[in-house]
Structure 1
Amino acid sequence: MIAAEACSLAGMLDQLRPHVPAALISDAAWTRVQGMAGQVPAALPRVVGLECRLAHDARTDLALGLEPAGGALLAGGGSWVAPGTPEHPVWERIRSFCRPRGAGSGLTAEETLSIWLEFDDVGDAAEGPVSLPVPGIFIEIAPALRGEAARTACLAFVTRVIGELAGEHAVASLSAPLRHCFSALPSGACVPGFGFFPGRAASAVRVNVSCPDAARLVLYLQAVGWPGEANVLRSTLAEAARARGRTGCDAPEQIHFDLAPHVLPRLGLEYFLARTPQANGTLVEARFLDALVSRGLCTPGKRAALHAWPGTSLTAFAHTLWVSRVRRLVHHLKLVCEGGIPVEAKAYLGIYQV
């Protein structure tokens, strides 16, 4: 086995390329993903994610899900230092956040389920070698902070992390809107995660909300000041529920909106897919994909490619001692909505070593 930190993620992904349908991720997009992955140690992520647009946009973003060992490597416990744009302050903030410092600071298992770094594919605008972009940062909140009794503690955690990762200026502008977002949550709803994109032009905090009832979800969005059309969103939610074989009151597993500091019009509706059948190579959400194709949000070729992606394989990676069992899943589909109208569909592919 080669030293784990000497093996890049690109080498690991190269071994999985035969499982990646070209209709879903083109050769050009794969080359760009590999350009970013080649600057990341294979030992860093717990999960590798690939974000694919399902219409004619070929861009594919790279996402890394970190567990404590990967967080320690990123924090400087190993020899790797983030390349590409190390002078950007976000890298030092991420490293500082991942350093163990005890309760009430940084990355703790009691508060944080995982941290995700997302690297945007700039598409054909890339010239020459692909540099590692400044990442988007997402925090999955630990289940203990998602209950109704823990909302005050959860809000305090979110506010603290925004200060650590985005700076106190972000806290100053977002603390009041965030309090309103938490106080307006209906019974049974929670904030399972949040994130932001320091490398993008627009400065905003993304808030994820889980609310199982579609009617209460729409009322919540109205209460926090979402400027879209409520009736249009109700129709979109009902149509998606029917395509999934659900009742009209069922909501997506999660939605997200951006605070800047007001709620922006764009929403993300995240629909999680059944995992167990995918271990045997079966994607059971065929009706949902068919509906996306009929709406022009997914090409027929990418629909077929999504069905070909799930499965399990045994692979010997250079950075691991033993043969790894690798599961390939479509974790969720996302409808991006403007004013409640779906304008784009994305698939989030997961690569898990189990």
Structure 2
Amino acid sequence: MNAITPLYPLQESASEAAVEIAQRWRDLKDAEPHLRARDAADRLGVSEAELVAARCDGRDIVRLRPAWADLLSELESLGRVMALTRNDHVVHEKHGEYIGAKVFGNMGLLVNPDIDLRLFLGQWDHVFAVTELTRSGVRNSLQVFGDDGLALHKIYATDRTDDAAWSRLIGRFRAADQSPGVRVAPTHAIPTDPPDQAVDVGALRARWDGLKDTHDFVDLLRQFGVGRMQSLRLAGPERAYPVQRDAGRIVLEYARDDALPIMVFVGNRGLVQIHTGSVSKLVSAGEWFNVLDPRFNLHVRMSAIHSVWVVAKPTVDGPVHSLELFDEQGALLMQVFGERKPGRPQDPRWRALLGVLEPCSVNETGRHVSS
């Protein structure tokens, strides 16, 4: 973990910094009342956790104890909620229940038809219960942040949430310290790829061809010390090849038209959230391409997509193909698979769908493709 430093080094405490942040936030809200919290934090030059903690008062903003295993278990009592996971350019929202959470040390798992999560709890540091007034009325949420103040996961109450259970959860996990402010670590640096010439490409390809499960791919990256996009560039076109930048939109439209069930993975360093099923209502709005279905919403900032790849990985059930979207820095923003269960091969319709995409050329970094 990076060393924790105060936002304002000349001030004595996070509480003093919080006073200034809260005032600047009020001024900004007065000028732009519908500005989203993440955008407001960027405008103010602070993390989203600092923005929330600056208003911590033990009433509308309540700091909770980060007892992750117990907290995840308690979420089941809430009933239907909305789970939100995002990164810089993609937002994934699912309605459902947090049933059967399992925790194994710093790893957590929920596998449900709706709320389907892979949790990396070692990255979770702060959690707050937030009550705020929005255009649609009062909105309650639980918000989880990393040590650098990045928002990792949010859980929103819905009209089918048990309000009494929500209040009990806040009471049970309420922290003793409700003073405003929080100290955060420096922003996590993006890992640097090794030079291509330092990678044993032949061994990497052999290891790739020996995969038995898609989940083993992360171990491959660790073994060779390569970045994800770097591995795609070095893998050879029979394993991975770039396609047009708007391939994500094309694939979602084909899946809708053919009623083809898919799996959509969106994550950050703290967790991955998964939708499994069909998509129906697709809407473009400015730079965003959206899925607006009753229990699944997806928002993709198309202008931020700089590289898209079709990736093939071998498994014991046969090859599995995915579409992977990256930003200009090479960060993985989203993956799309055909719906598949262990023990079953992938749907041939999914492979055929990916076949309509046009292979493209990339530059030496692999981070830009022609459209």
Q: Shorter-normalised TM-score: what interval? A: under 0.3
Tell me which protein shows more helix as a share of its residues: 1
TM-score between the two structures when normalised by the length of structure 2: 0.26
- State the TM-score, normalized to the length of structure 1: 0.27
> Comparing both structures, which one devotes a greater share of its residues to strand?
2
Larger Cα-atom Rg = 2
